[in-house]
Structure 1
Amino acid sequence: MKRRLFLKLIIMVLIFCRFFTSCNYSTNDNMETNNSIEKNDILRVHFIDVGQGDSTLIQVNGFNVLIDAGPNSASYKLLPYLIGNDVEKIDYVIATHPDEDHIGSMDEVIKNFNIGILYAPKLTKNTDTFINMVKALKSKGLKINVAKDDIALNLGEDIILDFLAPIEENYEEVNNYSVVTKLTYKNISMLFMGDAEDLVEAQLLRDKVDIDTDVIKIGHHGSSSSTSDDFLRVVSPEYAIISCGKNNRYKHPHKETINKLENAKVAIYRTDLLGTIIISSDGNNITTTTMDQAK
């Protein structure tokens, strides 16, 4: 109860700040800009620092898309971040799979924002985290829409978010149910792997799916169970984003994955080291911005 009241207080303060400029609320503190794409360019992809977990916000053409919501402990950080970036409605929410580090704060997101459609794999989990997400959806008259590999979300002119996985209906490992998506905007693209492991990577290669991309959100927080040599060679990214928590008990990212990326000369950006990472693009150029939230 205390946690819920404190969270509501934070949200009320942030909403107040949006309407009264004297508060000077900004998400740009401690940010370092590496390139010079102008602010009015169309695409922003925020790889939000939620600790040991995943949460990505895509903003384009007035659309907001949220992929995952981090662990339960991330709500204090995630909700203010969304509000600070002018999010009122989330048109599409993607819960890549039902692990707590991906949907832990999803119930709070659903309760506090206007939600359009939520996609998730056809998989349930008997945990408080999953049950709370379903209850929050039902309280708003919403339901889970099953994610399939033939779905494509039109996010306005020249930009599509394609669902590439899950490919099968039954996997032994929960991570392999992950919703994998690819965002294409003019001449650039980004691949979001959830926690998909090398089995799914092999299936994408087998099916000759177009996975060549400029930016990849590395699967399973940089675990050695993902990012196989063959997969990385075909993806051939310029940038790799790894979402993980500082000094996490899983030791993510694993050295094997870092070595592969370094050998392939891929620029590595890690939320545990850099805080939230923002990729911006005009469809031809890419710029990266980091926010070290540890400062």
Structure 2
Amino acid sequence: MARRRRKSRGRKLILAVAALCLAAVYPLQEQLTDGGGDSRGAGNAAAEDVSAAASDVFRDGSTLEVHFLDVGQGDATLIRCGEAAMLIDAGNNSWGDDVRDYLEYQSIGDLDYVIGTHPDADHIGGLDVVMEAFDCGTVIMPDYEKDTQTYTDVTDVMEEKGYELTLPQVGMVYELGEAAFTIVAPNGEYGDNANDYSVGILLEHGENRFLLTGDAEEDSEADMLDNGIDLSADVLKAAHHGSRTANTEAFLERVNPEYVVISCGEGNSYGHPHAEVLNRLREMGIKVFRTDEEGTVVATSDGAGITFNVPPSESWQAGEPKG
């Protein structure tokens, strides 16, 4: 069967970042004093050399890495712990090749888990390319279908490769190397709001906790607050690209993160992240990382502490739609 390819529009940005994601990891306090830098200008040749060296030096079986990929106005997160790896979403349709190539640069063999948080194209658009290129173990998607070509592309590849769909069950725990993750959402029925059906997970590695909730909005967040699971986390991936329709004050107070990562595209038409959300984060003293400003963001956990490959954003600038 021929490999599916999507036009990448020349965007090999994340391939250059891949080299520096590991090589540039250093304690956050040093990043703050040194000022860090934008890693998005490296070339692909250098990326291959540095990436290989970085993998040998920095990675071991006890380390957890969470890669928040820069896929423009979309979501894609690679999580790996030792030899275990999982992918949550894969950006829009045109990003499929780039996400696949990023995983190959990271020497990913098989994917133990693939999560399509919900059927919107900016989340599952590239999944068909990735799922065809890699052998995938457990594939988790919500019980919500969408009559789109994007959704059909994903389900077609699943059928062709014999992947069975696993529906998310809140409270279910899965092992990922020396880490584990718990399903925390969705908790109910949300009508036609695909965002609120987003699969949410709480990822734990030693003493460190990460919460990722896709595009879950206010109703889903409220249900998460009521489901009895401890949602406190060190790192929160802002829901719905930092939209005001999510990231409520009550939710942020319960999670009480030290760091928030926002995945959004520069100059996106939605104005993400919204000023209301940024103001909440700033008032709470939360350090913010943004893919629209810093490219791919990588958090590395040793089970006791967390480091990042880039310093936090200092702009607090709300998204400004192009045009």
TM-score higher than 0.5 here?
Answer: yes
Is 1:274 matched with 2:294?
A: yes
Do the aligned partners of 1:275 and 1:290 also contact (CA within 8 Å) in 2?
no
Is 1:92 matched with 2:113?
A: yes
**43 and 2 in structure 1: CA distance in 2 versus 1, 3 angstrom threshold:** closer
Is 1:61 matched with 2:53?
A: no
1:35 alignment partner in structure 2: 27
TM-score by length of 2: 0.80
Say which of 112, 117, 120 aligns to 2:138. 117
Do the aligned partners of 2:6 and 2:93 also contact (CA within 8 Å) in 1?
no
Do the aligned partners of 2:6 and 2:94 also contact (CA within 8 Å) in 1?
no
Do the aligned partners of 1:122 and 1:169 also contact (CA within 8 Å) in 2?
no
TM-score by length of 1: 0.87
Is 1:135 matched with 2:153?
A: no
More deviation, 179-188/206-215: 206-215
2:200 alignment partner in structure 1: 180
Say which of 194, 203, 220 aligns to 2:223. 203
Aligned residue type for 1:39: F
State the alpha-carbon separation in 1 of the partners of residues 254 and 69 from structure 2.
Answer: 26
Say which of 122, 143, 147 aligns to 2:168. 147
**Per-residue deviation, 1:184:** 0.8
Equivalences, count:
275
Aligned residue type for 1:252: H
Do the aligned partners of 1:54 and 1:102 also contact (CA within 8 Å) in 2?
yes
**4 and 262 in structure 1: CA distance in 2 versus 1, 3 angstrom threshold:** same
**Per-residue deviation, 1:171:** 3.3
Do the aligned partners of 1:121 and 1:148 also contact (CA within 8 Å) in 2?
no
State the alpha-carbon separation in 1 of the partners of residues 17 and 237 from structure 2.
Answer: 26
State the alpha-carbon separation in 2 of the partners of residues 123 and 115 from structure 1.
Answer: 21
**Per-residue deviation, 1:29:** 4.4
Do the aligned partners of 2:77 and 2:87 also contact (CA within 8 Å) in 1?
yes
**290 and 79 in structure 1: CA distance in 2 versus 1, 3 angstrom threshold:** farther
1:189 alignment partner in structure 2: 209
Bigger strand share: 1
Aligned residue type for 1:49: D
State the alpha-carbon separation in 2 of the partners of residues 5 and 257 from structure 1.
Answer: 33
2:310 match: secondary structure: strand
1:4 match: secondary structure: coil
Is 1:77 matched with 2:78?
A: no
State the alpha-carbon separation in 2 of the partners of residues 61 and 104 from structure 1.
Answer: 27
State the alpha-carbon separation in 2 of the partners of residues 255 and 112 from structure 1.
Answer: 39
**108 and 205 in structure 1: CA distance in 2 versus 1, 3 angstrom threshold:** same
1:213 match: secondary structure: coil
Aligned residue type for 1:114: D
What is the RMSD of the two structures over their aligned residues, measured on CA atoms?
2.5
Runs of 5+ consecutive residues of structure 1 not aligned to the other structure: 15-24
1:161-220 Cα offsets, whole Å, 9 max, x none, are 000011114434110000000001111100001000111111122233211110000100
Do the aligned partners of 1:134 and 1:143 also contact (CA within 8 Å) in 2?
no
Aligned residue type for 2:112: D
Do the aligned partners of 1:98 and 1:123 also contact (CA within 8 Å) in 2?
yes
Taking every aligned residue pair, what percent have the same amino acid on both sides?
38
Do the aligned partners of 1:149 and 1:166 also contact (CA within 8 Å) in 2?
yes
1:290 match: secondary structure: coil
1:75 match: secondary structure: helix
Do the aligned partners of 2:85 and 2:113 also contact (CA within 8 Å) in 1?
yes
State the alpha-carbon separation in 1 of the partners of residues 20 and 197 from structure 2.
Answer: 37
2:246 match: secondary structure: coil
Runs of 4+ in 1 over 4 A off after TM superposition: 29-32
1:121-177 Cα offsets, whole Å, 9 max, x none, are 0011000000000001111111221112132111233x2100001111443411000
